Chain A
């Protein structure tokens, strides 16, 4: 074997570069193309291609090519038996040869000859064929030597590992995408179910249609204004949808009664937070606090609410948020026993109960977010579009200014 030191060094350098290239985080298509160019440059050939084996369709299809024009449509198959023989043989194969194992190429030979392939090497990892590299004859016209075969084998091994890693990564990506799709589907079903529940709650009372959705939307926007993030906002959004689920167990005639309730009816109606809690506490929600927000959304910060008569610090913050927005929505929509209050009247009611029924630490950010929406400082307002009246800046500023400031409160 006549091999100069310079040639050895050049090939060694190419192998080092090939190793570097296939372990680089570059785009796979680019890595394969660079690898092909390296092989072609090493053997001084003008045409070459790297094919990937698709085990499902049993075909080799090109993933990189040079000098053979448009290779996209070019693909061919090799039968399983032949592939096993090629793996066993483990060396590059001269396409023109009619000897074993080249004689096993079958119809693939036609495709390979069409692109001028002279020498092929299989890309094999753990006895599994992942692809093939094909190059035409040397530009110099010289024949491929035993050393060339050895060098091509080593380069093919490098490329095979890269292809193997990429295939594994793709399989993982596909699994991940499948799981993601399943998860999204489940999530959608979950949300649809919760929305259906919310709709069924609201359907018990013609007057409260959309109440749960509004409480959900108001709670979420208020929580965000108070600095909540991600899953916590999602949790209160869900709690908002389900906060009245206990009303499912309450007689419809009580819910829709226009005249004052008897003490028994009042007791039954006021049991809905506990009933709701009992229903929801059996569900393992991915968000924390949903059952407790439901249970305590009728508590008052002065301790006169129900069912647990908790005072401010003992009421979960989510329940304090919901207590405010639930009352706000109840005031600003028609009820069987009274027409809706105007925004001004509702705000006066909230102001009158500031620090008694409602938590000032919750009311202030609520006022702040309403102000931002009215002033057009919010890209997608959530509260004002749901109100049944138009709010002007001056009225809102004046109303909000009538609330005690934080310093006065202190």
Chain B
């Protein structure tokens, strides 16, 4: 599916580009995709929301699932390209307290590439 091709590898980071399907339980497949990258050794996961208009509670629960999985593997998750509404939502639910947020994916990749993970 096109959707599942919405990802890109950049050095030791991988960037996922969910669109609005993250707001449906189908978005669980994004977690599976993360699992696959983690299994391949990726520990830096960037989720870019440039194509996501509005995140709902289902989307939030899927993101928590991803964060939990990546953290279990001692990896990091970063967000990029958040619009004002989504940024507010992440603030409301407390997500931004746990995640680094960047202006865009390039900035996120640059920041993550400097990061050394154990």
The interface of chain A, by Cβ under 8 A from chain B, is: 4, 6-7, 10, 13-14, 17, 30, 33-34, 37-42, 44-46, 66-67, 138-140, 142
The CA of A67 and the CA of B65, in the complex, are separated in Å by 7
**Contact of B57 with A41 in the complex, beta carbons under 8 Å:** yes
The CA of A34 and the CA of B58, in the complex, are separated in Å by 7
* Residues of chain B contacted by A10 (CB below 8 angstroms): 57, 89, 92-93
**Contact of B64 with A45 in the complex, beta carbons under 8 Å:** yes
Interchain residue pairs with CB less than 8 A apart (12): A7-B92, A10-B57, A37-B57, A37-B58, A38-B57, A38-B61, A40-B64, A41-B93, A42-B60, A44-B64, A44-B93, A139-B67
Please tell me which one of the listed residues B58, B92, B94, B98 contacts residue A6 in the complex, with CB atoms under 8 A apart. Answer: B92
The interface of chain B, by Cβ under 8 A from chain A, is: 24-25, 56-62, 64-65, 67-68, 88-89, 91-95, 97-98
The CA of A139 and the CA of B57, in the complex, are separated in Å by 14
Q: Is the interface of A mostly helix, strand, loop or mixed?
A: helix
The CA of A39 and the CA of B57, in the complex, are separated in Å by 7
B112 to chain A, nearest CB (A): 21
* Residues of chain A contacted by B58 (CB below 8 angstroms): 17, 34, 37-38, 41
**Contact of A37 with B92 in the complex, beta carbons under 8 Å:** no
* Residues of chain B contacted by A44 (CB below 8 angstroms): 60, 64, 93-95
* Residues of chain B contacted by A4 (CB below 8 angstroms): 92
* Residues of chain A contacted by B62 (CB below 8 angstroms): 37, 41
**Contact of A140 with B94 in the complex, beta carbons under 8 Å:** yes
Closest residue of chain B to A64, judged by CB? Answer: B25
* Residues of chain A contacted by B56 (CB below 8 angstroms): 13-14, 17, 38, 41
Q: Is the interface of B mostly helix, strand, loop or mixed?
A: helix
Greatest chain B CB density within 10 A among A33, A37, A138, A142 is at A37
**Contact of B61 with A139 in the complex, beta carbons under 8 Å:** no
* Residues of chain B contacted by A40 (CB below 8 angstroms): 57, 60-61, 64
A142 to chain B, nearest CB (A): 7
**Contact of B88 with A6 in the complex, beta carbons under 8 Å:** yes
A115 to chain B, nearest CB (A): 14
The CA of A44 and the CA of B98, in the complex, are separated in Å by 12
The CA of A33 and the CA of B24, in the complex, are separated in Å by 10
**Contact of A41 with B92 in the complex, beta carbons under 8 Å:** no
By Cβ-Cβ distance, the 8 closest A-B pairs, closest first, are: A41-B57, A41-B60, A41-B61, A40-B61, A140-B94, A14-B57, A37-B58, A37-B61
**Contact of B25 with A42 in the complex, beta carbons under 8 Å:** no
* Residues of chain A contacted by B60 (CB below 8 angstroms): 40-42, 44
* Residues of chain A contacted by B88 (CB below 8 angstroms): 6
**Contact of A30 with B25 in the complex, beta carbons under 8 Å:** yes
The CA of A67 and the CA of B28, in the complex, are separated in Å by 11
The CA of A315 and the CA of B57, in the complex, are separated in Å by 73
Please tell me which one of the listed residues B25, B91, B98 contacts residue A139 in the complex, with CB atoms under 8 A apart. Answer: B98
The CA of A66 and the CA of B58, in the complex, are separated in Å by 12
A29 to chain B, nearest CB (A): 10
Q: A17-B57, A38-B58, A44-B60 are in contact. List 19 more A-B contacts (CB 8 A).
A: A6-B89, A6-B91, A6-B92, A10-B93, A14-B56, A14-B57, A30-B25, A34-B24, A34-B25, A37-B25, A38-B57, A41-B56, A41-B62, A42-B57, A45-B61, A46-B64, A139-B67, A139-B94, A140-B94
**Contact of B25 with A33 in the complex, beta carbons under 8 Å:** yes
The CA of A142 and the CA of B58, in the complex, are separated in Å by 20
* Residues of chain B contacted by A33 (CB below 8 angstroms): 25
The CA of A393 and the CA of B105, in the complex, are separated in Å by 77
* Residues of chain B contacted by A37 (CB below 8 angstroms): 25, 57-58, 61-62
A244 to chain B, nearest CB (A): 64
* Residues of chain A contacted by B94 (CB below 8 angstroms): 44, 138-140, 142
A156 to chain B, nearest CB (A): 15
The CA of A6 and the CA of B86, in the complex, are separated in Å by 11
**Contact of B68 with A46 in the complex, beta carbons under 8 Å:** yes
The CA of A44 and the CA of B99, in the complex, are separated in Å by 14
A238 to chain B, nearest CB (A): 51
Known contacts A37-B25, A38-B58, A41-B58; A46/B65 CB under 8 A? yes
Closest residue of chain A to B24, judged by CB? Answer: A34
The CA of A162 and the CA of B38, in the complex, are separated in Å by 37
A318 to chain B, nearest CB (A): 56
